[in-house]
């Protein structure tokens, strides 16, 4: 019974969070990247969540339940090249504009809630998760976030000839 109540509570919170943009203001520690950003990806049809935060030159990542609660469980410093690439992607996407506005999304469509701050300003908006600008930025951040698996993968035995 207790587990059932807990599951209902999580589902209730998830439905409330998916219905509106709830990100806190973007962190103001711009660090070496010159931007601070939070992206909360929601995929309601398969209850999948990801939360990326760039703060003070570090990428912070949370997935699943952590992301649902806007928490991160892993972080890594970004290199100068990674910072430049992220900044170029968001600049190309037009996200570094105080006039950036949200787009309409369908009820069960994947969405990206974005809060971003830079030297000259900050803004918050919501876009369809399949929008080309969202896909480009999130795919790049996912590549960096996947490096969290590298220590485990490096410990695996190497494949050899099969007998």
Residue 53 lies in a domain: yes
Residue 159 lies in a domain: no
What is the DSSP-derived secondary structure letter of residue 14?
H
Residue 64 lies in a domain: yes
Cα distance between the two ends of the chain: 52
What is the DSSP-derived secondary structure letter of residue 110?
-
pLDDT band at 13 (very low <50, low <70, confident <90, very high): very low
**CA dihedral of residues 51, 73, 147, 64 (deg, nearest 10):** -50
**Percent of the chain whose predicted confidence (pLDDT) is above 90:** 56
Whether pTM > 0.85 for this model: the answer is no
Tokens of 56: 């003070």
Please report the pLDDT score of residue 22 as a whole number: 47
Please report the pLDDT score of residue 156 as a whole number: 75
CA angle, 14 then 110 then 112, to 5°: 85
> In whole angstroms, what is the distance from residue 87 CA to residue 2 CA?
46
Residue 70 lies in a domain: yes
Residue 158 lies in a domain: no
CATH number for position 61: 3.30.1560
Provide the number of structural domains found in the chain: 1
* Better-predicted residue by pLDDT, 137 or 163: 137
Q: What is the pLDDT of residues 69-123, one digit of tens each?
A: 999 999 999 999 999 999 999 999 999 988 888 988 888 899 999 999 998 888 9
Mean pLDDT of 25-51: 86
């Amino acid at each position: 019974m207790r587990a059932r109540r807990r599951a209902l509570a999580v589902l209730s919170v998830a439905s409330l969070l998916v219905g509106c943009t709830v990100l806190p203001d973007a962190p103001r520690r711009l660090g070496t990247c010159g931007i601070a950003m939070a992206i909360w990806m929601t995929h309601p049809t398969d209850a999948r969540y990801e939360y990326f935060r760039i703060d003070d030159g570090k990428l912070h990542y949370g997935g699943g339940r952590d992301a649902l609660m806007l928490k991160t469980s892993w972080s890594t410093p970004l290199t100068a090249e990674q910072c430049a690439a992220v900044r170029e992607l968001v600049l190309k996407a037009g996200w570094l504009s105080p006039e950036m506005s949200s787009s309409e999304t369908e009820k069960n469509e994947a969405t990206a809630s974005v809060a971003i701050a830079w030297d000259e300003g900050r803004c918050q908006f919501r876009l369809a998760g399949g929008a080309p600008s969202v896909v480009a930025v999130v795919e790049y951040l996912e590549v960096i976030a996947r490096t969290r698996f590298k220590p485990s993968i490096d410990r695996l035995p190497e494949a050899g000839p099969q007998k």
